[in-house]
C-alpha cells in the first residue's frame, strides 16, 4: 500500500473485506435495535425498558470481554469472524418470529452482545496487522465514519418504515432486512477476502488467558485513566440518546440520525484531515463537546434546535480516535486483539450502563432533566480525569521517543 488515504485503504483487499463486513453489521444492528426499542416502548411505555432494549446487549459484551477475549488473538481470526457472523444471523432471524415474548427477545439480544465483543476484538486485531502503524488512524477513522453513515441510514429507514408499519411489523421487517441483506453478505465477504494470519503465535485461548491479559491491561493507573475516558463519558452521552424515544416520540429518529451524522462528520474531520499531534491536542476539547450541547435539551428547545445540538455533540465522539491510538501504542503486538476488544467491550458496556442509568433516572424525574443530569456527569468525569490522562500521555510519549518511533511520539502524546 503506497498511501494511507481512504482510497488507498480500500484498494487493500483484506481491509476492504473487513470494512464491508463491519459496515453491513453496523447498519443491521442500528435498524434492529431501533425496531426493538420502538416495540418495547409501544408494549410497556417504560423509559427504562426502552433504553435497555436499545443498548442492553452492551452488558453481555462486557461479560464476553471477561471470558472470551483471548480468542481475539487466536490463530484463525477469519474462521472466528465467520462463525460469529453466522451466530448474529441466526439471532437476528429469530427476532422475526411473530408473537415472540419480550423475554425471548431480550435473551437473543444478550446472546448477540456476548459474542459481539469477541468479533470486535478479532476485527481490530486484524486491522492492526493488515495496515501499517501510520495507516491505523485513517483506517479506524474510515470505519467510524462509515459506521456513522450506516447508523444514519438505519435510523432513517426505521423512522420511515414506522410511518407505515406497526411496531410488530417494523420488528419483523427489520429482522428480515438485516438478516437477508447484511449478515449473509457480511459473512460471505469476510470469508472471501480475509486470510488466516499464519504469523500469529499459537495461543490457548480460554478464561485463564483472558484474565491474565485483562489484569495486565488494567495494572497501570494511567492506562486505566485512558480506558475510563473511552468508556464513561461516551456511555453517559449514549444514555442521553437512549431517552430520545420518550423525550420526543415523533422525532426520535430525527434526533438519532442527527447524532449519527455528527459522529460521521467528526470521524471524517479528525481522522482524515488532522495529523496525530493535532488529534491529541484536540482530544480534551472534543470530549467536552461530546456532552455540552446535551445540556440544551433540558430546556426542551424546538426539534430543529435539539437536532442541531445533538449533531454538534456527535462530533465529539471523534475523541475516541486519539485515545485509541495512544492505547495501541502501549500494547504489545501479541495482545492487540484482546486489548482493543476489551476497550471496545468496555465502551459498549459503558453505553449499556448509561442507557440503564438514563432509563432509571427518567422513571424518577422528567426525561429532559435526566438528559441534562447525564450530560453534566459526563462533563464532570472528563474534567476530573484529565490530569491522569495527561500524565499517561507524557509517559507514552517518553516510551515512544526512546523506541523506534523517535522523538515525534513525544509531541503526539501531550494534548489530551
88-114 per-position pLDDT tens digit: 777 777 877 777 887 888 888 778 777
What does DSSP assign to residue 46?
-
Integer Cα distance of 236 and 381 in angstroms: 10
Q: How many domains does the chain have?
A: 1
Helix or strand (DSSP H, E) at 266: helix 252-273
Integer Cα distance of 322 and 269 in angstroms: 13
Integer Cα distance of 367 and 359 in angstroms: 9
Within-domain flag for 229: yes
Joined together, the cell numbers standing for residue 275 give 495529523
Within-domain flag for 201: no
pLDDT reported for residue 171 = 77
CA 162, 164, 167: angle at the middle one, nearest 5? 45
Average pLDDT over residues 366-374: 94
Query: Among 121, 44, 46, which residue's Cα sits nearest to residue 359?
Result: 46
Q: Of 93-107, 292-306, 400-414, which range is least confident?
A: 400-414
Integer Cα distance of 47 and 44 in angstroms: 9
Integer Cα distance of 365 and 359 in angstroms: 10
Residue 405, pLDDT above cutoff 50 = no
The per-residue pLDDT for range 184-204, each reduced to its tens digit, is 677 777 777 777 765 455 555
Residue 354, pLDDT above cutoff 80 = yes
Q: Of 32-46, 50-64, 347-361, which range is least confident?
A: 50-64
Q: Which CATH number fits the domain that encloses residue 387?
A: 1.20.1250.20
Residue 293, pLDDT above cutoff 80 = yes
**How much of the chain exceeds pLDDT 70, in percent?**
80
Integer Cα distance of 18 and 275 in angstroms: 24
Ranked by mean pLDDT, the top range of 69-78, 91-100, 299-308 is: 299-308
Helix H, strand E, coil C: the string for 192-214 is HHCCCCCCCCCCCCCHHHHHHHH
Within-domain flag for 101: yes
Joined together, the cell numbers standing for residue 385 give 480525569
The per-residue pLDDT for range 7-40, each reduced to its tens digit, is 888 888 888 888 887 887 777 777 777 888 888 8
Within-domain flag for 168: yes
Higher pLDDT, 129 or 209: 129
Within-domain flag for 93: yes
Q: Residue 95 in contact with residue 105, Cβ under 8 Å?
A: yes
Ranked by mean pLDDT, the top range of 223-227, 263-267, 377-381 is: 377-381
The per-residue pLDDT for range 161-177, each reduced to its tens digit, is 888 888 878 877 777 77
Per the structure, the complete domain to which residue 299 belongs is given by 6-192+208-412
pLDDT reported for residue 37 = 82
Model's pTM, two decimal places? 0.67
Within-domain flag for 202: no
pLDDT reported for residue 183 = 61
Instruction: Note the residue count of the chain.
Output: 416
Q: Write down the mean pLDDT value for the chain.
A: 78
Within-domain flag for 53: yes
Residue 368, pLDDT above cutoff 90 = yes
Within-domain flag for 198: no
Higher pLDDT, 222 or 170: 170
Residue 367: pLDDT band (50, 70, 90) is very high
Amino acid at each position: 500500500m503506497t498511501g494511507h488515504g481512504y482510497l488507498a485503504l480500500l484498494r487493500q483487499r483484506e481491509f476492504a473485506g473487513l470494512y464491508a463486513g463491519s459496515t453491513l453489521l453496523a447498519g443491521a444492528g442500528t435498524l434492529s435495535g431501533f425496531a426493538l426499542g420502538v416495540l418495547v416502548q409501544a408494549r410497556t411505555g417504560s423509559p427504562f425498558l426502552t433504553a435497555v432494549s436499545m443498548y442492553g446487549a452492551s452488558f453481555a459484551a462486557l461479560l464476553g470481554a471477561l471470558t472470551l477475549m483471548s480468542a481475539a488473538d487466536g490463530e484463525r481470526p477469519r474462521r472466528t469472524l465467520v462463525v460469529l457472523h453466522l451466530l448474529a444471523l441466526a439471532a437476528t432471524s429469530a427476532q422475526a418470529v411473530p408473537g415472540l415474548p419480550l423475554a425471548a427477545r431480550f435473551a437473543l439480544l444478550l446472546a448477540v452482545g456476548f459474542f459481539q465483543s469477541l468479533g470486535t476484538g478479532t476485527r481490530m486485531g486484524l486491522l492492526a496487522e493488515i495496515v501499517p502503524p501510520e495507516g491505523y488512524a485513517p483506517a479506524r477513522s474510515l470505519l467510524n465514519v462509515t459506521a456513522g453513515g450506516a447508523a444514519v441510514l438505519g435510523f432513517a429507514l426505521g423512522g420511515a418504515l414506522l410511518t407505515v408499519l406497526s411496531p410488530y411489523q417494523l420488528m419483523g421487517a427489520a429482522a428480515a432486512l438485516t438478516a437477508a441483506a447484511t449478515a449473509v453478505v457480511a459473512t460471505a465477504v469476510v470469508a472471501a477476502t480475509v486470510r488466516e494470519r499464519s504469523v500469529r503465535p499459537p495461543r490457548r485461548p480460554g478464561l485463564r488467558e483472558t484474565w491474565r491479559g485483562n489484569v495486565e491491561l488494567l495494572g497501570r493507573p494511567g492506562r486505566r485513566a485512558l480506558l475510563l475516558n473511552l468508556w464513561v463519558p461516551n456511555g453517559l452521552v449514549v444514555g442521553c440518546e437512549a431517552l430520545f424515544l420518550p423525550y420526543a416520540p415523533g422525532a426520535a429518529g430525527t434526533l438519532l440520525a442527527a447524532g449519527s451524522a455528527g459522529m460521521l462528520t467528526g470521524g471524517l474531520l479528525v481522522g482524515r484531515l488532522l495529523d496525530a499531534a493535532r488529534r491529541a491536542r484536540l482530544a480534551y476539547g472534543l470530549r467536552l463537546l461530546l456532552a455540552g450541547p446535551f445540556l440544551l435539551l433540558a430546556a426542551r428547545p424546538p426539534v430543529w434546535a435539539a437536532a442541531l445540538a445533538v449533531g454538534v455533540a456527535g462530533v465529539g465522539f471523534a475523541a475516541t480516535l486519539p485515545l485509541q491510538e495512544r492505547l495501541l501504542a502501549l500494547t504489545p503486538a501479541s495482545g492487540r486483539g484482546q486489548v482493543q476488544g476489551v476497550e471496545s467491550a468496555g465502551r459498549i458496556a459503558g453505553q449499556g450502563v448509561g442507557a440503564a442509568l438514563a432509563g432509571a433516572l427518567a422513571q424518577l424525574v422528567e426525561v429532559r432533566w435526566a438528559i441534562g443530569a447525564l450530560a453534566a456527569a459526563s462533563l464532570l468525569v472528563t474534567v476530573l480525569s484529565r490530569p491522569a490522562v495527561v500524565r499517561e500521555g507524557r509517559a507514552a510519549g517518553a516510551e515512544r521517543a526512546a523506541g523506534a518511533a523517535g522523538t515525534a511520539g513525544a509531541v503526539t502524546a501531550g494534548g489530551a
